[in-house]
Amino acid sequence: MKMRRNQLGCFHINPLFKRALAAMLDQMPTDEYSSPTALIETHFSSLKDPRAQHSIDHLLLDIIALALCATICGANDWEAVAEYGRTKYEWLQTFLALPNGIPSHDTFARLFARLNPEELQCCFMSWMQAVHQVTNGELLTCIIHEKIEKKPESFMPS
């Protein structure tokens, strides 16, 4: 699996990303309905779930949020996304429902293969514009900086 880890085997999170995420959360509305996933819920709620309603074990927004977090932290395939979820499970439970735990890499692959790509792109672009606005561009800058500065071998587990 190609994911960046620090020397202790933990997934690496860039300090700039932490600062940008904190800024984003600080600027979110503080009413009783606000949550760390409010921006994701707002921008991905229109995404149609292609799965049969009687066989859903994992919530669509949980899967989207987990995939976004894992990708920002360096995951580049579904196995790495699932591994990220298992590693960060306790933290993810603080803001995601995860009623049946972390989805398997097969679940991620099946779901994303069935999502409408145009709908997903529209939701993602809307979310990224909001994140850019809320963080004054810091999140995007740190993600781009990480991708340019790091060599491919730095994404391998230690």
- Per-residue confidence at 5, pLDDT binned at 50, 70, 90? very low
Query: Each residue of 14-70: pLDDT tens digit?
Result: 555 555 555 555 555 444 335 556 778 889 999 999 999 888 999 999 999 999 989
Q: What percent of the chain has pLDDT over 90?
A: 41
- What's the confidence (pLDDT) of residue 138? 73
Query: Each residue of 73-128: pLDDT tens digit?
Result: 888 999 999 999 999 999 899 889 999 999 999 999 999 999 999 999 999 998 88
Domain parsing of the chain, residue ranges: 37-48+56-152
The 8 Å CB, 24+ separation contacts for 92-101 are 92/66, 94/36, 95/35, 95/36, 95/37, 95/65, 96/37, 96/59, 96/61, 96/62, 96/65, 96/66, 97/59, 97/62, 98/58, 98/59, 98/62, 99/57, 99/58, 99/59, 100/57, 100/58
Give me the mean pLDDT over the 1-10 stretch: 42
Give me the mean pLDDT over the 4-8 stretch: 41
- What's the confidence (pLDDT) of residue 89? 96
- What's the confidence (pLDDT) of residue 158? 37
Higher pLDDT, 9 or 58: 58
- Per-residue confidence at 142, pLDDT binned at 50, 70, 90? low
- What's the confidence (pLDDT) of residue 35? 57
- What's the confidence (pLDDT) of residue 109? 96
